[in-house]
Amino acid sequence: MAEKKSDPIVVIGLGRFGSSIALELAARGSEVLAIDSRPKVVQSLAGRITNIATADATDIEALRQLGVPDFYRAVVAIGSDLEASILATSLLVELELEDIWAKAVSRQHGQILHRIGAHHVVFPEHDMGERVAHLVSGRMLDYVEVDENFALVKTHPPKEFVGVPLGQSKLRRKYGVTIVAVKSPGEEFTYTTADTELSYGDIVLVSGRSDNVERFAELP
């Protein structure tokens, strides 16, 4: 089944991570069913999420009554209760949801979630910690690891590439990275071409292997 923005999404667990996901999805116009076992949490979000329910996500009958088998995509955002996280994920697999995302709080937890059938496992605390570590330790304005050992970095151009058309800079040969977009002061990001010349006040988006983009971002 092709991914669609309109696909309804179940979010199980409404702590900080789960509630942020549910609220953002709802704001983007997605149909969301938010589930948490804590009545006070559900009550606090009831005015902001249309479809929200107090239920035990480790009870397959409760999930069936809420119509969860009719959903295509689900997010298990339970973090503190590992048993509940694993059981809820396994029930979604049993209900044959086609796209299951699950939050993990450790590598071991993540491995278990993968083994029982989660299609995507995320480590929000670890990923955010890694991202902030990259930002505070250098000149990067933003850092996103888009795949294992491949990253996208927002930074300022090093002085050796200022005023030189990118097609003549031998950037990829020297540093193994590609500048994919540039933003001049007061303007929007635009794709770069071989004729693009960078200025000192520009911001660039650089892609490549993680070690290469980190090395590039540290150039003076």
pLDDT at residue 91 tops 50:
yes
Contacts of 194 (CB under 8 A, 6+ apart): 165, 166, 167
Task: List all residues 6 or more positions away from 68 whose beta carbon is below 8 Å from its beta carbon.
Answer: 10, 33, 74, 92, 95, 97
Gap between the Cα atoms of 100 and 75, Å rounded:
6
Q: Where in the chain is the domain with CATH 3.40.50.720?
A: 9-122
All CATH 3.30.70.1450 domain ranges of the chain, comma separated, are 127-217
Question: Tens digit of pLDDT for each residue in 130-180?
Answer: 666 656 656 788 888 777 788 888 999 999 999 999 999 999 999 999 999
Name which residue leads in pLDDT, 95 or 147: 95
In this predicted structure, the answer to whether residue 120 has a pLDDT above a threshold of 50 is yes
Contacts 24+ apart (CB under 8 A), 15-18: 15/41, 15/77, 15/78, 15/79, 15/80, 17/77, 17/79, 17/103, 17/124, 18/75, 18/77, 18/78, 18/103
Question: Taking a C-beta distance cutoff of 8 angstroms, is the pair 218, 155 a contact?
Answer: no
Distance CA 35, CA 55 (A): 6
CB 154 within 8 A of CB 135: no
The mean pLDDT value of the chain amounts to 88
CATH of 127-217, one of 3.30.470.20, 3.30.70.1450, 2.40.50.140, 1.20.120.1200: 3.30.70.1450
pLDDT band, residue 107 (cuts 50/70/90): confident
Q: What fold, for 9-122?
A: Rossmann fold (3.40.50)
Closest CA to 58 of 91, 98, 82, 93: 91
Mean pLDDT, range 10-37, rounded to an integer:
92
Please give the pLDDT value at position 4.
43
CA–CA dist 220, 216 (Å, integer): 9
- Distance, in Å, from the CA atom of 77 to the CA atom of 163, rounded to the nearest integer, reads 47
